[in-house]
A and B are shown apart, each in its own frame.
Chain A
Amino acid sequence: MSSSAHTAVATPGVPRLAQHFASLEVQNHAARLGMWLFLSTEILLFAGLFVCYGCYRYLFPEAFAAASRHLDLTMGTVNTVVLITSSLTAALAVHYAKEGKSNLVALMFGLTIAMACAFLVIKGFEYSHKFEEGALPGPYYRMQAVQLPGVPLYFTIYFLATGLHAFHVIIGMSVLVWLMIKAIRERNFGPNNYTAVELGSMYWHLVDLVWIFLFPLLYLI
């Protein structure tokens, strides 16, 4: 009999205890620590871009300031509000999962996903506007309004950072969709079975966290 990581059928309201864990407590603790470690890798991933940003802003302050003022601050602020609210709904999803209200969990995640879509749509508008203006990275830059040394670098970093962020928004959305479906189908989240919701929600909060730093650094120079 080959080894399996899982025991037999799960009882409702209690997740399957993998047989290599000593207890459910240990399994949950392991899952949470694993997720925190994974989030730290995401932080270090974005860090490289923040370093490029920091150095080049230090080198080209006027260019960065001028370019930043050409971003649409309204859209950026709306996006920030949208993302923060989506974080709220994600946190509430965990709260309701602990209380065993799977319907509300699904609703909260649904709202989160909707707001994530809104974020991406607004971002899409911003990007298309940039393409029109010619505010593009490096050699493709052709915005006449701002012609300063370092401006193309600003937009390289802008697109790399927001692009990487948007990619993570999409990943986060997929995770949340999976969780929402799980909530609808199995309906068995509860005080002993909410770790999956917690972990998915944590990932979403990281996406929000990154944007909390990206927003002022890109839009408010």
Chain B
Amino acid sequence: MNPSSSTTAEGVLPAHDAHDAHHDHPSYLVDGTTIKSWLLTVDHKRIALMYLVWILLFFLVGGIFAMAIRIEMLTPGPTIMDAMTYNRTFTLHGMIMIFLFMIPAIPAVFGNFVLPLMLGAKDVAFPRLNLASLYIYLAGAFLALWGMLNGGLDTGWTFYTPYSTHTTTTVAPVLFGAFIIGFSSIATGLNFIVTIHTMRAPGITWFKIPLFGWALYATSCIQVLATPVIGLLLVIVSGEQLFHFGLFDPARGGDPVLFQHLFWFYSHPAVYIMVLPAFGVMSEIVATYSRKNIFGYRAVAYSSLGIAFVGFFVWGHHMFVSGQSTFDAGIFGVLTMLVGIFTAIKVFNWVGTVYKGAVEFRTPFAYFCGFLFFTVFGGMTGIAVATTSLDVHWHDTYFVVAHFHFIMVGATIMAFLAALHYWFPKMFGKTYHEGWGLVSAALIILGFNATFIPQFLLGNYGMPRRYFEYPERFQALNVASTAGSSLLAFGFIIIAIYLTYSLAYGRASGQNPWRSKGYEWLMASPPPTHNFVGPQPTYPEEPHFYVDPKKAEVPDVV
């Protein structure tokens, strides 16, 4: 089975190849069937699957808490819980979604699975570190969850001082759990950077790395450089809550705004950790389903690096009303505008890719459409709140909540789902029912709009975030938002059902059901344990090198 040959029509493997593959080179899924072979695996693909299981589970937990929030918000007064419980609920929702789901999701699952395939490597650079990162992640996650369920943090996921150092709720286990998860994030990032530097197959020069690889590279740089700062801060605040040294306590000469500087120095780049891999996934998907080379490969690659780099210099836009100086606010505001340019470059390039492409409107592409809409509006509202004078009104209202959910859910989760559907055949060798895929994509996109557009309006009208009670006049929009969230939840449930069904009973997909020219599709689906058989594959062309179907001329290569 020659991995560098393009596939036959419809991407179905010739019968004898499938037979050989099955006997001589079993897929990674069946190569070793004991529990030990899974729990102690160093195969990046198995590690990715284990991450997937836990990440989906934590997403479910975070999602349940989101529904609890929305149900509570149905009425202006208490609906199903008291104020302290509400504080704990939104803290839990934030903590779980950010640290347990969003930060690892695309890199730890799809990055782990697909990156070595895309680079023609047999594994990541440090496979045992990869396995360790999974267990470190789980250890931190369980500690944090235990803390949440035993006394529960009520500070919000941002645990600002002085409240976080004075609250009597359980701070230390939750923050320490997040600290431990940070090590997992660093390990993953370190692994990917070294993999990309040292393990590319001959022929894959830097500018032939697939764009998902570039996105992961930029993400990994952020993970490695930013996470230690929050790590230290988490430990300091845990210690402060126990010993009250007063590092951020004005009564002892400390400054709470300094806490915020240190906090957001990580947490702003963290949002780029969440979104950059999503952008990378979309670059892959848009090329595949437009059957066209990505428009402006280098621009997209450089813009990933640009986001990662400039993203480190904009953290103060979370602090416009904190007491930070207007001098700092000015600088941060301008730099924030700058970082938006890189995302705009990507959006133009994606649209340029679709333009005059031969679009195949499959489920991942449907998610791309939603993603594009949400990235543009989420991004533009981001620029809006980056304007200091406007943010004075919008800060800590539902406007900001809607903005970041547009990006985190609208962009990143769309990309996560798109990646799940795009690489489902690669990971499991099965297909899912396209109809259900499109239906659930539509439900999610509609449900998402219905949930969060009312929140933009609410925020603009002045409803603060993290408030347990609100004035009557905000109820209608809150009810609308909750209704939308039910639709959203319903969409997720449908996906869970048909994907699980497809795992068991789905049709065999063949090696390359999308006829994609991404590098990872040159290997079997699902791949054998060591990704390929024999010597490393060769890559004469750039990734996603399609020929324009309308004109038979060679399109832009770079």
Binding site for B on A (CB under 8 A): 1-5, 18-22, 26, 29-30, 33-34, 37-38, 40-42, 44-49, 51-52, 55-56, 59-60, 137-139, 149-150, 152-153, 156-157, 160, 164
From known contacts A19-B122, A49-B232, A51-B262, infer whether A4 and B42 are also in contact, taking CB-CB under 8 Å: yes
Cα(A10)–Cα(B66), bound, Å: 53
B 237-266 contacts with A by CB, 8 A: 243-247, 249, 252-255, 258, 261-262
Asked whether, in the complex, the Cβ of A138 is within 8 Å of the Cβ of B252, the reply is: yes
CA distance A149 to B32 in the complex (A): 65
- Contact A48–B227 (Cβ < 8 Å): no
Query: Is A48 a contact partner of B253 (Cβ separation < 8 A)?
Result: no
Please give, as numbers and ranges, the residues of chain B lying within 8 Å of A47 by CB-CB distance.
228-229
Residues of chain B lying within 8 A (CB to CB) of residue A59: 253, 255
Distance of A8 Cα from B98 Cα, bound (Å): 42
What are 26 A-B contacts defined by CB distance under 8 Å? A1-B31, A2-B43, A3-B31, A5-B127, A5-B128, A20-B122, A20-B199, A22-B199, A30-B126, A30-B197, A30-B198, A41-B186, A44-B229, A45-B228, A46-B232, A49-B232, A60-B253, A137-B243, A137-B245, A137-B246, A152-B245, A152-B246, A156-B246, A160-B236, A160-B245, A160-B247
**Which 3 pairs of residues, A with B, have the shortest CB-CB distance?**
A138-B245, A2-B32, A45-B228
Given A3-B43, A45-B229, answer yes or no on A37-B224 (Cβ-Cβ < 8 Å).
Answer: yes
Within 8 Å of chain A (Cβ to Cβ): is B231?
yes
Tell me, yes or no, whether B83 is within 8 Å of chain A by CB. no
Query: Which residues of B are found within 8 Å of A49, using beta-carbon distances?
Result: 232
Fill in one digit per residue for B346-362: 1 if any A CB lies within 8 Å of its CB, else 0.
00000000000000000
Query: Is B121 in the interface zone, CB < 8 Å from A?
Result: yes
Contacts of A29 in B (CB 8 A): 197-198
Question: Is B393 interfacial (CB-CB < 8 Å)?
Answer: no
B444 within 8 A of A: no
Assess the A3–B530 pair: CB atoms within 8 A. Answer: yes
Q: Within the complex, what minimum Cβ distance (angstroms) separates A45 from chain B? A: 4
List B26-70 residues whose CB lies under 8 Å from chain A: 31-32, 37, 40-43
Q: Are A44 and B252 in contact (CB-based, < 8 A)? A: no
- Chain A's nearest CB lies how many Å from the CB of B357? 36
Q: Tell me whether B245 and A41 are in contact (CB under 8 A).
A: no
Contact in complex: A30, B125 (CB < 8 Å): yes
Could you tell me if B253 and A152 are in contact, using CB atoms closer than 8 angstroms? yes
Q: Given the complex of chains A and B, what is the CA–CA distance between A60 and B252 in angstroms?
A: 12
Given B126, B225, B249, B536, which contacts A44 in the complex, CB threshold below 8 Å? B225
Q: Is B529 an interface residue (CB 8 A)?
A: yes
Nearest-Cβ distance from residue A47 to partner chain B, whole angstroms = 7
B190 to chain A: which residues have CB within 8 Å? 34, 37-38, 41
> Is the Cβ of B194 less than 8 Å from the Cβ of A33?
yes
Smallest Cβ-Cβ distance to B226: which chain A residue: A44
Known: A60-B253, A139-B244. A48 touches B31 (CB 8 A): no
- Whether A34 pairs with B246 at a CB distance below 8 angstroms is no
Would you call B193 and A139 a contact (CB within 8 A)? no
Q: Closest CB of chain A to B256's CB: distance in Å? A: 12
Q: Is the CB of A30 within 8 A of B225?
A: no
Inside 8 A of A44's CB, which chain B residues have their CB?
225-226, 228-229
| B123 located at the interface, meaning its Cβ lies under 8 Å from any Cβ of chain A in the complex | yes
What residues on B are CB-neighbors of A38 within 8 Å?
190
- Option from A4, A26, A150 in Cβ contact (under 8 Å) with B199: A26
Q: Which B residues touch A21, using CB under 8 A?
A: 125, 198-199
Q: A55-B258, A150-B253, A156-B246 are in contact. Are A41 and B225 (CB under 8 A)?
A: yes
Pick the contact of B127 from A20, A150, A156 — CB < 8 Å? A20
- Closest Cβ of chain B to A26, distance in Å, is 5
Inter-subunit contact B224/A34 (CB<8 Å) = no
Given A138-B245, A139-B246, A152-B246, A37 contacting B232 (CB threshold 8 A): no
Q: Is the CB of A138 within 8 A of B233?
A: no
Bound Cα distance A30, B122 (Å): 14
Chain A residues whose CB sits within 8 angstroms of the CB of B199 once the complex forms? 20-22, 26, 30
In the assembled complex, the Cα of A156 lies from the Cα of B165 at a distance in Å of 15
Q: Are A20 and B198 in contact (CB under 8 A)?
A: no
Closest chain-A Cβ to B526's Cβ sits at a distance in Å of 14
Interface residues as binary, B306-319 with A (CB distance below 8 Å gives 1, 0 otherwise): 00000000000000
Q: Which residue of B lies closest to A48 (CB)?
A: B232
Instruction: Find chain A residues with CB under 8 A from B249 CB.
Output: 138
Q: Is the CB of A153 within 8 A of B226?
A: no
Interchain nearest-CB distance for A132 vs B (Å): 19
A37:B226 contact, CB within 8 angstroms: no
CB distance from B259 to the nearest CB of A (A): 10
Given contacts A33-B193, A37-B190, whether A3 and B41 have CB atoms under 8 Å apart is yes
